[in-house]
Amino acid sequence: MTFIHKYPKAAKVSKANFIVAFIALAIGGFFGFIQALHRTDVFRGFVNSGEYYTLLTGHGVLLALIFTTFFIAGLFVWGVTRSLDREPENMAYTWSWFWLMVIGTVMAAFTILGGLVPDSSIRAAVLYTFYPPLQAHPAFYIGLAMVVVGSWMAAADWFWSYSKWRDDNPTERIPILSFMTLFTMLMWYVCTIGLAIEVVGLLIPWSLGWVVEIEPLLPRTLFWFFGHAVVYFWLLPAYYVWYAILPKLSGGRLFSDSMTRIVFIIFLLLSTPVGYHHQYADAGISVGFKFYAMATTMMLLLPSLMTLFTVIASMEHGAKQRGGKGYFAWISKLPWNNPAFVGCALAGIMFAAGGFSGMINAGMNINLLIHNTIWIPGHFHLTVGTAVALTFMAVTYWLLPQLTGRKLKFKTLALIQPYSWFLGMTLMSNAMHRAGLAGVPRRTAEPEFNTNAMNFEPIFGTMSEMKWQIAIGGTILLISLILFLWVVISSWMAGQKSEKPVDDHIPEPLSGVEHTPAILDNMKLWFALALILVVLAYSFPLWEMIQDGIFSPGALPRPS
Amino acid sequence: MTEGTASSSDSKSPSKSWEQRNPEIEREITIDEYNPKGTLTLTLLYLAIIVLMWVFMFFVEFGGNAPSIIG
């Protein structure tokens, strides 16, 4: 028996979430391909440069917010149900948060796509960051608010399951899959406070015309209160896969249960008080607060390095159990012919590279070198676009058989897919990083910013070569995405039915929960500490910003 | 950990470890036997690479050029 036979109701919810996630992935990914060709001037026949910003918004919102949120919801429904050995407590409630998120998604997507209709008054070309002075149709903000509220309800659903499980198991330790889920969602609750205040308190009244003037700095700051922590909302589920599933796919066990829990706790504590590192170049915020954000950001390197060590140690354990030896030779014993393993492993390698550019972004001084250049999208295509997205695609090859009761089809295509994604992203992202160093800006549709016309001086290579790497890389990524969707749809619709379509057993950690201090499971303690750190980081500067009134444009900077 | 036993691929022989039931596993390595020296080597290698790249960025790019685009 597999998951769908034991927990048919939860399997249905997971699958419904994955369907929405993959539709968003397909549309958003196609938009990304068009952007890569348009901005590099390779082919500009799909859209005009005005519509480019509509696609840019669609690419960011559909991939970074919709694909991730729905996939994470499906993944966590699977994990909580399985680890607590119980279906959701009330299916009417469970489906209510799902449909709330779907309606919100349709509203936001509708307003974005309205930008492609000539003379349409329904538009939302406000980019992924969607803060003033760019303004969207009210339905865009209301739709996104519904998605966030739905995600809060989903988290409450998992805490409800945990609470019921705790009643039945008062002395048990929190199972590791549920632990990772609950701490991720605690962090999500903390960081979305800023977004909720921004959207409900400022942007919706402004877009409805109830408020005429709005100060840019306050909503911008509230966005980044959420805007970097959301990165960890994407990344922690990828970590969840790397900690819980990747060791088993490698042939080994998770190296340490306690290390896993400590890493998730550190992310809960430090994810939110780092937002100012996106505002190093913003006027109106004291350098001291920016320095505090830099310090907390650099401290976040610690759990990432702990993850690097724990995950590689788990993989090495697997390889050595499969006969691997030596300092490096064991790597060849890893299952490089298993698409789920390959996707996760390559995603991890890309994340290591993204960690370097992240360090540059986080440094207050050296950040100025690459601020607002195409280096930044180069960085987040390594982290979100590969570490997260490729992990999600790879684990789908392992989860889908459990959720459908059908075996994976076209395994060779499934194996080619993560390698091709890695290749495409290597080409595209390295060119973006290097172009950023030469000063090429981000967020522009115009090709002259990618060519020699602006007299950019690359350290090595040529602007033309970088342009072609971005276009070719983007094309390979689209092919990889089509391969993924083809394998998933084929397996889902026509895979061979089986009681045991995949080996879904997860072995115990090498150093198990018996070695884990009980205080690590104290959610109230860690949640309270997280809130205190947020108050330390944000209370005083936010107070300064609203001294002259919440909507007052008197504070700097204000667009003229 | 509830999830491990809840979905065992071979619940008829729970006395056997996962390694003993998996044909791809040549030998089981316990926590006492395991020495992740490959992991340590790779981690140190990674740290050396990012330190060198950071030094390159700071002294060649930042030290040698004015900031490009701010705002």
Is A373 close to B25, i.e. CB distance below 8 A?
no
Question: What whole-number distance in Å separates Cα of residue B1 and Cα of residue B33?
Answer: 22
* Residue from the list A177, A312, A459 with its beta carbon closest to the beta carbon of B3: A177
User: Measuring CA to CA, which residue among A391, A377, A480, A388 is closest to residue A430?
Assistant: A377
Residue keyed to tokens 């950071």: B54
Does residue B71 fall inside a structural domain? no
Residues of A marked active site are found at 228, 232, 379-381, 442-443
Does residue B40 fall inside a structural domain? yes
- Residues from chain B contacting residue A508 (CB–CB below 8 Å): 1, 4, 18
Q: pLDDT digit string (tens) for A59-105? A: 999 999 999 999 999 999 999 999 999 999 999 999 999 999 999 99
Does residue A77 fall inside a structural domain? yes
Question: What whole-number distance in Å separates Cα of residue A80 and Cα of residue A282?
Answer: 41
* Residue from the list A309, A441, A513 with its beta carbon closest to the beta carbon of B69: A441
Does residue A97 fall inside a structural domain? yes
**How many angstroms away from the CA of A212 is the closest CA of chain B?**
25
In order of A110, A149, A413, the CA distances from A140 in angstroms are 8, 14, 37
Which residues partner with A441 through β-bridges? A373
Q: Which residue of B has its CA nearest to A251?
A: B25
Is B65 close to A308, i.e. CB distance below 8 A?
no
Q: How many domains does chain B have?
A: 1
Does residue B69 fall inside a structural domain? no
What is the ipTM for the molecules in this complex? Answer: 0.89
Does residue A506 fall inside a structural domain? no
Q: What is the DSSP letter of A407?
A: P
**How many angstroms away from the CA of A213 is the closest CA of chain B?**
22
Tell me what pLDDT residue B63 has: 77
Q: Which residue of B has its CA nearest to A305?
A: B43
Residue A139 makes CB contacts below 8 A (sequence gap 6+) with: A107, A108, A110, A111, A122
Does residue B18 fall inside a structural domain? no
- Other beta carbons within 10 Å of A542: 16
Task: Report whether A231 contacts A298 (CB < 8 A).
Answer: no
- Residues from chain A contacting residue B9 (CB–CB below 8 Å): 500, 503-505
Q: What is the DSSP letter of A450?
A: G
End-to-end CA distance of chain A: 65
Cα A24 to its chain centre, rounded Å, is 14
Tell me what pLDDT residue A438 has: 87
Q: Which residue of B has its CA nearest to A368?
A: B67
Q: Give the 3-state secondary structure of A237-305.
A: HHHHHHHHCHHHHHCCCCCEHHHHHHHHHHHHHHCHHHHHHHCCCCCCCCHHHHHHHHHHHHHCHHHHH
- What would the two tokens of residue A297 be? 């950001």
Tell me what pLDDT residue A404 has: 98
Q: pLDDT digit string (tens) for B36-71? A: 999 999 999 999 999 999 888 888 777 776 555 544
Tell me what pLDDT residue B5 has: 42
Query: Chain B residues contacting A, CB < 8 Å?
Result: 1-4, 6-10, 17-19, 22, 24-31, 34, 36-39, 41-43, 46, 49-50, 53-54, 57-58, 60-62, 65, 67-71
Tell me what pLDDT residue A559 has: 44
Q: Which domain holds residue B43?
A: 34-61
Report, as ranges of residue numbers, the positions in chain A whose pLDDT lies below 70: 447-454, 551-560
Is A370 close to B68, i.e. CB distance below 8 A?
yes
Instruction: Taking residues B26-31, report their average pLDDT.
Output: 94
Q: Which domain holds residue A381?
A: 335-446+455-499
Is A321 close to B25, i.e. CB distance below 8 A?
yes
| End residue of a domain, out of A117, A151, A172 | A172
* Residue from the list A328, A437, A509 with its beta carbon closest to the beta carbon of B38: A328
* Residue from the list A175, A441, A510 with its beta carbon closest to the beta carbon of B34: A510
| End residue of a domain, out of A172, A191, A208 | A172
Identity at A473, one-letter amino acid code = G
Does residue A229 fall inside a structural domain? no
Does residue A103 fall inside a structural domain? yes
Q: How many domains does chain A have?
A: 2
Does residue A9 fall inside a structural domain? yes
Task: Report whether A376 contacts A281 (CB < 8 A).
Answer: no
